[in-house]
Amino acid sequence: MKKTKARQGIIKAFNAAIEGIIYTFKFERNMKIHYFIAVLILIASLFLGLEKIEMIFLVFAISLVVIAEMFNTAVEKTIDMITDEYHPLAKIAKDVAAGGVLIAALNSLVVGYLIFYDKLTEISYHVLNTIRQSQLHLTLICIVLVLIAVVVVKAITSTGTPLKGGMPSGHTALAFAMATAITFMWEKVVTSTLAYLMAVLVAQSRIEGKIHTFWETVAGALLGTLIAILVFQIQIL
């Protein structure tokens, strides 16, 4: 009988503990964030070949953050149960508990940095090196950067729409970026000349259509050319 009661007591304690974990996950926003980040990190660790000691430190750092957040919740709920009025000591208690969570989170950042830095550096170097060796990827990157730059400048100057009018000319920027990319990829005078001639015709058509002014097309040409040069210079480095 005593063994049965002891067993029931242990089961009840486990149930209470699990209910506490579920409560913090359901009702505490920060806990949801902690769990989400933890899941992402643990999934990433499966593909990075971590050693046993690294996994131990990683799991410990994650657990420490979760434990600190749970203690913070416990302190907050206890104080709220005792009083619903402002009291300096209640504020101190909540601030100290929140400080514990902050320290645990900073500790997890340091641990994650020390564990993942070398591995992520190797991966990022491999990815960048692969991209640099691919002219197609460079061209796509160039197009995306030019489009982003055009939209940003138009937003700053508050002129035109993302696809029509305003400073600078997006069509001209793309045309000159592509002409510059062609120049870098083929390195032939005739090809480069024809590419820039087509870019100039694009700019001239935007002016003739009264969609852009002369200076808007000049700005677009400079923007597209400079971004393309920057992208391909990075590739050379």
pLDDT above 70 coverage of the chain, percent: 84
Predicted confidence band of residue 160 (pLDDT cuts 50, 70, 90):
low
Percentage of the chain modeled with pLDDT above 90? 19
The label of the residue with tokens 């694009």 reads 202
The per-residue DSSP string of 21-80 comes to HHHHHHH-HHHHHHHHHHHHHHHHHHTTT--HHHHHHHHHHHHHHHHHHHHHHHHHHHHH
Contact 220, 214 (CB under 8 A): no
Task: Give pTM, 2 decimals.
Answer: 0.55
Query: Is 74 a residue whose pLDDT tops 90?
Result: yes
Per-residue pLDDT at 108 exceeds 90: yes
Q: What is the CATH number of domain 2-124?
A: 1.10.287.3610
69 is catalytic: yes
Active-site position among 69, 76, 122, 208: 69
Pick the most confident of 57-71, 166-180, 197-211: 57-71
Q: Does residue 135 surpass a pLDDT of 80?
A: no
Query: In angstroms, rounded to a whole number, what is the distance separating the alpha carbons of residues 74 and 104?
Result: 16
pLDDT-derived band at 213, boundaries 50, 70, 90? confident
pLDDT at position 15: 83
The residue ranges of DSSP E strands in the chain, in sequence order, are none
Q: For 164-181, what is each residue's pLDDT tens digit?
A: 677 788 888 888 888 888
- Reported as a pLDDT band with limits 50, 70 and 90, residue 146 is confident
Would the pLDDT of 130 be above 70? no
**What residue spans define the domains of the chain?**
2-124, 135-236
CB contact at 8 A, 17 and 9: no
18-62 pLDDT tens trace: 888 888 888 888 888 898 889 888 888 878 888 889 899 999 999
Higher pLDDT, 156 or 44: 44
Please determine, for residue 126, whether its predicted confidence score (pLDDT) is greater than 70. Answer: no
CA distance 186 to 107: 51
